[in-house]
Amino acid sequence: MTRSTQEEAQHWNARYSQEARSSFEEPRPFLLENAHHLPVRGLALDAAMGLGGNAGFLLQRGLHVVGVDLSSLGVRVAKARLPALMAVEADLRHFHIPADTFDVIINFFYLERSLFPIFARALRPGGILIFETMTVEMRSLRPDIEPLFLLEPGELRQAFPSLEILSYREGWQNRSGPHPRAVASLAAIRL
């Protein structure tokens, strides 16, 4: 079942008001691994940016960054940490993402399939997409997670047929650590 904007915002505001939120304040390893694909200047969109760990990294790299999230607390914390961030509190399901606009789009740990073609169109030629989120494998550990919010095997590889794939993998992160996660990870370019 999908949650309303308000229910989803309440869920994430509660999550971000807990102490254990530091993983959201760091850039994700797959973004760091693919940093060599990023342009040195331009405009980036961080979809569902959370507390801005990834957005902060893109800003440091010299990009202008629009970060969108529906958590008011997330947006407030991110903007306070990163004054240069263009932080937008909005539900991406109802947010206009213009075509041919972004040099970089990142999407970490958020899955809204209706955005796939919108992301592909929103990149400028030469633009880079970096996308990572959990797969259905995750249900072997967390059967409570709705399959709707998890990628099927191979799904991400097929999700952006107009883009050229630079890097793709599926597998476990932190398998023996405290927060193991089954993920699919993609970096792709609009030629």
Q: Tokens 């996660």 belong to which residue?
A: 181
Binding residues for ligand SAM, per CB under 6 A? 8, 12, 24, 28, 48-50, 53-54, 68-71, 74, 91-93, 108-110
Q: Minimum distance between the CB of residue 125 and ligand SAM, rounded to whole angstroms?
A: 25
Q: Which is nearer to ligand SAM, 92 or 123 (CB)?
A: 92
Tell which phi-psi region holds residue 126, choosing left (phi > 0), alpha (psi between -120 and 50) or beta. left
CA–CA distance, 35 with 47 (Å, rounded to integer): 17
Taking the least distance from each CB to ligand SAM, the nearer of 45 and 92 is 92
Distance of closest approach, residue 89 Cβ to ligand SAM, in angstroms? 9
Of residues 131 and 160, the one with the C-beta less far from ligand SAM: 131
- Ranked by CB distance to ligand SAM, the top (closest) residue is 50
d(CA 129, CA 107): 8
Question: Please, are residues 47 and 107 in contact by the beta-carbon 8 Å criterion?
Answer: yes
Between 50 and 127, CB nearer to ligand SAM: 50
Angle made by CA atoms 85, 188, 82, in degrees to the nearest 5: 10
Gap between the Cα atoms of 77 and 97, Å rounded:
23
Measured from the CB of residue 117, what is the shortest distance to ligand SAM in angstroms?
17
In the complex, what is the shortest distance from the CB of residue 38 to ligand SAM, in angstroms, rounded to a whole number? Answer: 16
